[in-house]
Structure 1
């Protein structure tokens, strides 16, 4: 099948810098769209944050989400484990009074015992034992997670299996794990919202930004598969996959 000029155009268009955790290059233009979840993490968090004296945001990325939840408690920290994101987060958050801490090991957070009234976590790994250690008495842990079957249709089309290490990661497993560490899970929901790509360049940009979906991804390696998706989009208008998300509120 002949690759048309639009395919090459989208490949070239995808060569854009990615910083922090900001997908606005493809979401702001509508090139990638996400179905709404049946909950809002921000709306859930705000009442807890307003009543807290101390707050931790785990895996802050570039601080994009946390910065929308101002005003913060007097003691507010953010952690980030991806080195290129750390200076991005510091530039955004430190002027707002947030201390940004680089973290290498979920099992050894460089944070004091029982410091935080609220620990928030959006799509970041965690160790329940460490969450329990750093939470203050009657503290609350609020996390939205990416489940183990996230966007599996991409992997199917690329002939790449999902990461077996996370295949078990779903609401039932995560909630049970927290309960086994002494938490009371007071709210839990799971959903599989639609995610659509309206051109193959948006998909390339996305896969380049999240290398764990297809770990060896390059355009040259998967050119035939990308061209197949491109032709599919020309016929159908979009390439659709299913996300996997779940949310929990847990307290001590």
Structure 2
């Protein structure tokens, strides 16, 4: 069954090291393409960054996004909980005046009360109690989140349930929680853009980079089902899934 040379070659070609939060190995070559969101996270936060005195970027990854937000105010911090990303982020962001802070727990942020005018968060977990503690009155909290049904078609094809802990994570749930922690929702949107994988190697690379999608992912364990997806790609030209994203802009009150 697995004498398909193309399939074997694509599976074996996924050993490229993943660093920071950079998917260019598969996105830069067009092997994975995602539909457009009806909003731009960068465009939404930029006016607030330009008018803030103190900014926190939660979960900066390798600092790829924050490094391109210009100009930055004098006081900017970035947290990161994934240890391999910390030296990458520090190397990229320290020359820009950003202080990178290693983080182990969401509910113990190493910052003073009411310190930040703006807290931005892209695809990162958070403790609302801590966010509200460290943000100033009328400060802005802007978060773009990955919803609980993100790319669930991958799980279906691999025969793995979506993690129940995240299944109910969507705009309505998050908005209510934020409002209950003394924030006023200024704007919010939710979307389900399509994402296409054009070869099975790109999908395997993606699953290795984000282990929370399929917690026990291993190519040998899922080889038969991966081959079935490979056949879909061979027939259709791609394997299509739906992403799940939402964004919330909230003001501390």
TM-score over 0.5 for the pair: yes
Partner of 1:112: 112
Partner of 2:56: 56
| C-alpha distance in 2 between matches for 1:206 and 1:2 | 21
| C-alpha distance in 2 between matches for 1:205 and 1:87 | 23
TM-score, with length taken from structure 2 = 0.98
Partner of 2:208: 208
Deviations 1:218-251 (A, max 9, x none): 1111110111111110110000000000000000
| C-alpha distance in 2 between matches for 1:232 and 1:180 | 45
| C-alpha distance in 2 between matches for 1:163 and 1:105 | 21
| C-alpha distance in 2 between matches for 1:184 and 1:137 | 11
> Tell me, which stretches of 5 or more residues in structure 2 are unaligned?
none
Partner of 2:44: 44
Structure 1 stretches of 4+ moved >2 Å = none
1:62-211 to 2 correspondence within 5 Å?
A: 62-211=62-211
1:70, distance to aligned residue in structure 2 (A): 1.8
- The alignment status of 1:233 with 2:220, answered yes or no, reads no
Is the CA contact (8 Å cut-off) linking 1:3 and 1:227 kept in structure 2?
no
1:212, distance to aligned residue in structure 2 (A): 0.5
1:168, distance to aligned residue in structure 2 (A): 1.3
TM-score, with length taken from structure 1 = 0.98
Is the CA contact (8 Å cut-off) linking 2:122 and 2:144 kept in structure 1?
yes
1:71, distance to aligned residue in structure 2 (A): 1.6
1:104, distance to aligned residue in structure 2 (A): 1.0
Is the CA contact (8 Å cut-off) linking 2:128 and 2:181 kept in structure 1?
yes
**RMSD after superposition:** 0.8
Is the CA contact (8 Å cut-off) linking 2:79 and 2:101 kept in structure 1?
yes
Deviations 1:66-92 (A, max 9, x none): 111022110000000111111111111
| C-alpha distance in 2 between matches for 1:69 and 1:204 | 31
> Tell me, which stretches of 5 or more residues in structure 1 are unaligned?
none
Is the CA contact (8 Å cut-off) linking 2:2 and 2:8 kept in structure 1?
no
SS at match of 2:79: strand
| C-alpha distance in 1 between matches for 2:138 and 2:49 | 14
